[in-house]
């Protein structure tokens, strides 16, 4: 496959395993996307919330309206907290989505898209991502999942249109994708199933299908119809309850949504480095060339 932007691989990178994020490090700077920080004063789920927005380089994004990938747990979407002290090819613990996107775009493996990483707080993420009250041991969590979707629909999307006026963003719900891992993956799938007229696709890595003994599986089964495009997986090295619940959920999604769904068990663990390695395949399912 020919790169869309000509470049060579630096010698210090040539012996490392090939990956889109490594490919991106070899690209000239003018071919790499940019990350913009937007601070949003939210009324739903009140408080200040940081949006970190990846925009592909002009050479790679074209003129068509950009699809939108809204990523839960935004603090894990891009570079690691210690990124200045660690060489990029040794960084661990984040998805490095900006580099994954750059590398895939350079190879022509996906269509350009804007990535919006939505910050959350560790103390409230489970409450915000799950629409029902649930239990884990002696702790209760959840109940604000619909308020979080309201926040995305009625505050985040308008803020992006308002503050990024120089960019053309999609108005097609099928091109608005929710993404996340673990309980953030649960939230992504719930959003696409509950509001397909707003969020028409979901990318979920190791989603927490175990919540309330398979509540999301039951929710998917009970939907009158399923038009969402879904890309999801679970790692073979994860705990048996996680794998079992994901397997049940994936079977329901494939039966209800048909060939729009890519969902299966794959080699991997419950960790950001594993999720990063699994991202390209899922992104290609959602953003493959039309």
Cβ atoms 130, 145 nearer than 8 A: yes
pLDDT at 1: 60
| The predicted structure's pLDDT at residue 93 | 87
Nearest-angstrom CA–CA distance, 216 and 222? 10
Tokens of 107: 């190879």
Q: What is the pLDDT of residue 290?
A: 53
Give residue 26's pLDDT. 86
Per-residue confidence (pLDDT) for residue 15, from 0 to 100 = 62
Mean pLDDT, contiguous 10-residue spans, the chain (290 residues): 78 68 88 94 94 95 94 89 67 91 94 96 92 93 97 97 92 97 98 97 98 97 91 97 97 94 97 96 90
Give pLDDT, residue 224: 84
Q: What does pTM read for this prediction?
A: 0.94
Residue 198 has a pLDDT of 97
Q: What's the rounded Cα separation, in Å, for the pair 167 and 66?
A: 8
Q: How far apart are CA 19 and CA 9, in angstroms?
A: 12
Strand pairing category for 176-181 and 68-71: parallel
pLDDT at 82: 54
pLDDT at 183: 97
Q: How far apart are CA 78 and CA 96, in angstroms?
A: 4
Name the one residue in this structure whose structure tokens are 């007229």. 197
- Rg of the chain in Å (alpha carbons): 18
Domains of the chain: 17-287 (3.40.50.1820)
């Amino acid at each position: 496959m020919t790169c869309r932007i000509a470049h060579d691989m630096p010698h210090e990178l040539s012996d490392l395993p090939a990956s889109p994020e490594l490919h991106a490090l070899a690209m000239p700077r003018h071919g790499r996307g940019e990350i913009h920080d937007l601070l949003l004063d939210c009324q739903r789920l009140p408080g200040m919330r940081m949006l970190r927005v990846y925009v592909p380089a002009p050479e790679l994004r074209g003129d068509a309206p950009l699809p939108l990938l809204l990523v839960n747990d935004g603090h894990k979407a891009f570079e690691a907290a210690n990124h200045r002290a660690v060489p990029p090819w040794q960084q661990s613990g984040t998805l490095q989505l900006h580099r994954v996107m750059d590398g895939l775009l350079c190879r022509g493996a996906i269509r350009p898209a804007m990535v919006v990483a939505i910050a959350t707080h560790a103390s409230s993420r489970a409450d915000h991502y799950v629409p029902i009250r649930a239990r884990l041991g002696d702790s209760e969590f959840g109940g604000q999942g619909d308020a979080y979707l309201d926040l995305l629909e009625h505050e985040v999307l308008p803020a992006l249109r308002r503050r990024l006026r120089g960019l053309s963003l999609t108005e097609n719900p099928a091109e608005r994708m929710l993404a996340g891992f673990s309980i953030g993956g649960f939230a992504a799938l719930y959003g696409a199933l509950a509001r397909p007229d707003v969020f028409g696709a979901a990318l979920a890595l190791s989603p927490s299908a175990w919540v309330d003994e398979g509540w999301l599986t039951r929710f998917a089964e009970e939907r009158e119809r399923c038009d969402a495009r879904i890309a999801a997986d679970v790692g073979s090295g994860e705990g048996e309850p996680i794998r079992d619940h994901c397997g049940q959920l994936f079977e329901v999604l494939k039966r209800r949504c048909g060939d729009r769904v890519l969902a299966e068990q794959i080699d991997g663990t419950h960790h950001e480095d594993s999720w990063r390695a699994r991202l390209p395949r899922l992104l290609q399912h959602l953003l493959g060339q039309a």
